[in-house]
Amino acid sequence: LHALSRRLAPASAAKGSVIVHQGDPGDTMFIVESGRCEVYVEESPGHTITIALMGPDDFFGEMALISEETRTASVRALEDCRLLTLDRKTLYETVPAESDALIELTKLVEQRKDTLPNLIARARMVAPEQAASTVAVYSPKGGSGRTTIAVNMAAALARRFPGEVLLVDLALPYNHAALISYLTPTGCLAAASQVPPQNFEEAVLGAILHHPGGMMLLPGVLRAEQADLITVDLVNRAMGILVNAFRYIIFDLGVAFTDIVISVLDHSQRVLVLVTPELSSLKDVGELLNIFNNVLNIVPGRVILALNNKVPKSVVSKEDVVRTLKQELSVEIDFDGTKPDEAAVKGEILVLTDPKSALSRGAEQLAQIIAGTTSAGEAKEKKGGFKLGRR
């Protein structure tokens, strides 16, 4: 990569100029060093749709490095821009064909090709009659398998509703949903907070990733230090866009009981709480359920309680869990050995690659519960949108 960086050629683009044209051949990728660019597609003569915004460190045109297909979108400079360019000939002269860098770039190209149709669809979508159903996934104890279960549940839902299920990774400060899903994020919700208000919608939609299995994913951050940019107001603004673009929105929440976590829990239609058969987990979940009942007024009917067996045989039984928490379990996920870890290492989502595994069966059960809980009355009640902040 160091050798490749020395082969990058500087370029510039004046404000208003079109850097690449949709439909043209190309063999060059562009990296934005300074300035901002708009990515748009022309659906019919004179009718264009903005699908993404690019700022410093973003890049575009990478498909031309790997494929000889024509440009899939146009890019216009919104400001005077300084760019760095890399052409196909230079890439293959510098980077071996079997290198990790080239493999990763090829993966990113395929990912963006899959995402493009969904970006276009989201950008032109009008508000549907029913706003999205929202589900918060939470556990007060780390190591409960929360992110793995959130990803698999979202993927299970997306098999029924491809492109209509969005997983929002608010597990701060470290996001792992994209890693588990074998996706390479280039944008995030935190970065969208830095764009001008008129470009916010494009920035949010442009940060969404598409998984080949049909699930969509919005990373909260790309780097841990961006976590401070995630605020209740930012999530509110994003949800104002997203609730009308998806059927289901699932939040993967971090362990820390922050204002954002409390607000998302408070305002989600359903809350999936994960418990593991350990004394410490029972204690923490018991206290959490008390907070739900006595502080947040989250009634038991909104809570989906799932037991995730992380060991083959636990001293704490299912009956002990129910007796201690005084609430019935909705789903019990049996111990699945090393399958979840192996799937993560391979870049696989278990519910898609091994539907008979214990974790897959549990995720499918959870998806069935979620898919069967949106009554007409609930949809009507939530149609006003998702608003964080205490009621």
Residues 239 and 366 in one domain: yes
* 115/151 same-domain check: no
Looking up residue 21, the CATH number of its domain turns out to be 2.60.120.10
Tell me the C-alpha to C-alpha distance, in Å, between residue 174 and each of 154, 228, 337.
Answer: 19, 12, 25
Per-residue confidence of the chain (391 residues) as pLDDT tens digits? 567 788 899 999 999 899 999 999 989 999 999 998 988 888 767 667 777 778 888 889 888 778 778 888 899 998 999 999 999 889 888 888 778 877 777 877 777 777 666 666 655 544 344 578 999 999 999 999 999 999 999 999 999 999 899 999 999 999 999 999 999 898 999 999 999 898 898 889 889 999 989 999 999 999 999 999 999 999 999 999 998 889 999 999 999 999 999 999 998 999 999 999 999 999 999 999 999 988 998 888 899 999 999 999 888 999 999 999 999 999 999 999 999 999 999 989 999 999 999 999 999 999 999 998 433 333 334 334 455 654 4
Q: Give CA–CA dist 382/378, Å, rounded.
A: 6
User: 199-212 burial string, b = 16+ CB within 10 Å, else e?
Assistant: bbbbbbbbbbbbbe
What is the per-residue pLDDT for 52? 78
Q: Are 191 and 96 members of one domain?
A: no
| Two structure tokens written together for 111 | 């990912």
Residue 345 and residue 208 share a domain: yes
Instruction: Kindly state whether residue 388 falls inside one of the protein's structural domains.
Output: no
55 and 93 part of one domain:
yes
Residues 119 and 137 in one domain: no
Q: What is residue 57's predicted lDDT score, i.e. its pLDDT?
A: 85
DSSP at 198: G
**Are the beta carbons of 91 and 31 closer than 8 angstroms?**
no
d(CA 157, CA 162): 8
Give yes or no: residues 192 and 340 share one domain.
yes
Which of 83, 105, 124 is the last residue before a domain boundary? 124
Are residue 160 and residue 245 in the same domain, yes or no? yes
- Which residue among 72, 96, 124 closes a domain? 124
Residue 389 lies in a domain: no
Residue 98 counted as domain residue: yes
pLDDT in tens, 213-224: 999 999 999 999
**Confidence at residue 83, expressed as pLDDT on a 0 to 100 scale:** 95
What per-residue confidence (pLDDT) applies to 61?
87
Residues 202 and 170 in one domain: yes
Judge if 169 and 60 occupy the same domain: no
Q: Which residues, including other chains, have CB under 8 Å from residue 384's CB and lie 6 or more apart?
A: 131
Count of structural domains, the chain: 2
pLDDT value for 82: 96
pLDDT at position 340 is 94
* Residue 387 belongs to a domain: no
**Per-residue model confidence (pLDDT) at position 391:** 43
The helix/strand/coil state of 297 is coil
Query: Are 113 and 149 in the same domain?
Result: no
Rg of the chain, C-alpha, whole Å: 22
Same domain, 101 and 161: no
> Containing domain of residue 309, as a range?
133-382
CATH of the domain at 341: 3.40.50.300
DSSP string, 323-335: HHHTS--SEEEPP
* Closest to 62 in 3D by CA, of 18, 8, 113: 113
Reported pTM: 0.72
Q: What is the pLDDT of residue 179?
A: 94
Domain endpoint, select from 76, 91, 124: 124
* Residue 371 located in a structural domain: yes
Token duo for residue 118: 């969904």
Q: Quick one: which H or E segment has residue 380?
A: helix 376-382
Secondary structure, 3-state, 156-195: HHHHHCCCCEEEEEECCCCCCHHHHCCCCCCCCHHHHCCC
User: How many helices (H) does the chain have, and how many strands (E)?
Assistant: 16, 16
Condensed to tens digits (0 to 9), the pLDDT of residues 162-208 reads 989 999 999 999 999 999 999 989 899 999 999 989 889 888 988 99
Instruction: Give the pLDDT score at 372.
Output: 83
